[in-house]
Amino acid sequence: MSIMRINVGPIHPGTHGVLKLVVDVDGDTVKNVEPHIGFLHRGVEKLMETRMYMQNPSYTEKLDYIAPLSWDDLYINAVEHALGVPVKEPAQYERVILLEFQRIASHLLWLGTFVNDIGQLFTAFMWCFRDRAKILKLLEDVSGSRMFYVNLRLGGFNKNPPEDFKERAYALCDYLEDKIRGYPDVLDANSIFMERTKGVGVLSKKDAIAYGVSGPVLRGSGVEEDARISHPYYVYDKIKFKVPTGSKGDSYDRYRVRYEEMLESIGIIRNALANMPDGDAKGMQIRLIGPIAKPDHIIMREELPRGEGIIYMVPDKQKPYRISLRSPAFINLAVLPKLAEGGRFADLFSIIGSLDLIFAEIDR
């Protein structure tokens, strides 16, 4: 056995961020992978402890620039619980709707770049970005910004949704369902896509639990766990939906889980639209405010597109005294050496892509 050590990175096509991998290979067989991170570290948690509560959404939205609303909502939700600020019922429904649209947009970008990374199906790449653009247009019209929205306020939003919001959201759901249901006709019929994903990067159910992964990576290994059900927030406990799971825990199952999650998100949006009450969804104006409830600490969790995000916060009068962020992408990256061991070097990039990693969130 002759081991060769290869440095991959710190930038390479298999990741959409900055990562260095030290890979030991025997011929074309991967023996060990050692991820090196920290190239994007900005000290976000410490910065957030020096800013007023409502100055921090500009930081949280940049943790996951693919789905900026997700971390922003998790942080605002934690602050609302710390300050004892209730969320208006129309705003709760609107948040669920926008979060699910954001989840679909995130999965679409992942799928498009994933098939592109493994060198196949540029047509599918264009389809995903075409359909994602429709979602971003709606989010832009609701918030005023196409990428970083910063439109959440304590108790609601910075403004009420457009008058035609429901009509446009229903139409968008119909459009997305029609387009997304056609994806497998192309992907599953492509022999190279199937070869690059089937049986590649297998993560057993036992190992998935042991490593503490979450989101589609966990569910792809057959574990039916979703924070929207196990720890419901807003009106998720009023909406019935399925939690897609895989059986083999390979790259294909992780793709399939995300595909089915997009269809489930469309169902959640339709349900929320049907039950969304009329009324004011505007929250509090941004101003200095001290804790009303001021608990000793807050632990808030939500199901983000990449997995379960958790915020631990010790609130103070005007800003977080301590705050810690649990990144699902960071935990999911830790399982990479397990998935790659014994596989082909060429499959390493398919495995990394199937984890859907965002390094601004991993490094923080």
Tokens 């999911």, residue? 332
Domain 49-327 has CATH 1.10.645.10: yes
DSSP 336-364: HHHHHTTSBGGGHHHHHHHH---HHHHH-
Predicted confidence at residue 347, as pLDDT, reads 86
Q: Can you give the C-alpha Rg of the chain in angstroms?
A: 21
Provide the token pair at 305.
Answer: 């597109």
- DSSP secondary structure letters along 301-331: EEEETTEEEEEEEEE-SSSEEEEEEE-HHHH
**Distance separating alpha carbons of residues 54 and 103, to the nearest angstrom:** 24
- pTM tops 0.85, yes or no: yes
Whole-angstrom distance, CA of residue 188 vs CA of residue 190 = 5
Nearest in space to 85 (alpha carbons), one of 161, 152, 160, 151: 152
User: With DSSP H G I counted as helix, E B as strand and the rest as coil, what are the percentages for the chain, rounded to 5?
Assistant: 50, 15, 40
What 3-state class would DSSP assign to 215?
coil
For residue 4, the tally of other CB atoms under 10 A from its CB is 10
Kindly report the length of the chain.
364
State how far the alpha carbon of 304 is from the alpha carbons of 39, 134, 275, 310, in Å: 23, 21, 23, 10
| Strand order from edge to edge, sheet including 20-26 | 4-8, 20-26, 29-36
What is the pLDDT, as a whole number, of residue 289? 62
Q: What is the DSSP letter of 161?
A: P
Burial annotation 69-84 (CB, 10 A radius, 16+ → b, else e): bbbbbbbbbbbbbbbe
Give the start-to-end residue ranges of the domains of the chain. 49-327
User: For residues 168 and 81, is the Cβ–Cβ distance under 8 A?
Assistant: no
Q: Measured on CA atoms in the order 277, 141, 113, 353, is the torsion positive or negative?
A: negative
Which two three-digit tokens encode residue 255?
């793709």
Per-residue pLDDT of the chain (364 residues), as tens digits, is 688 888 877 765 555 668 888 888 888 888 888 888 887 888 889 999 998 888 888 888 888 888 899 999 999 999 998 888 899 999 999 999 999 999 999 999 999 888 887 876 778 888 888 999 999 999 999 888 878 888 889 989 988 988 899 999 999 999 999 999 988 888 888 888 888 888 888 999 999 999 999 999 999 999 999 999 999 989 999 999 999 999 899 999 999 999 999 999 999 999 999 999 988 888 888 776 665 556 788 899 999 999 999 999 998 888 888 999 999 998 999 999 999 888 888 888 888 888 988 888 888 7
Tokens 């429901």 appear where?
166
* Residues whose CB is less than 8 angstroms from the CB of residue 88 and which lie 6 or more positions away in sequence, other chains included: 155, 156, 279, 280, 281, 282, 283
Taking alpha carbons only, the member of 223, 306, 228, 231 closest to residue 268 is: 228
Contact (CB, 8 A) for 50 and 319: yes
> Considering only CA atoms, which of 49, 50, 45, 53 is closest in space to residue 284?
53
User: Count of H helices and E strands in the chain?
Assistant: 16, 8
- CB-based contacts of 46, cutoff 8 Å, min separation 6: none
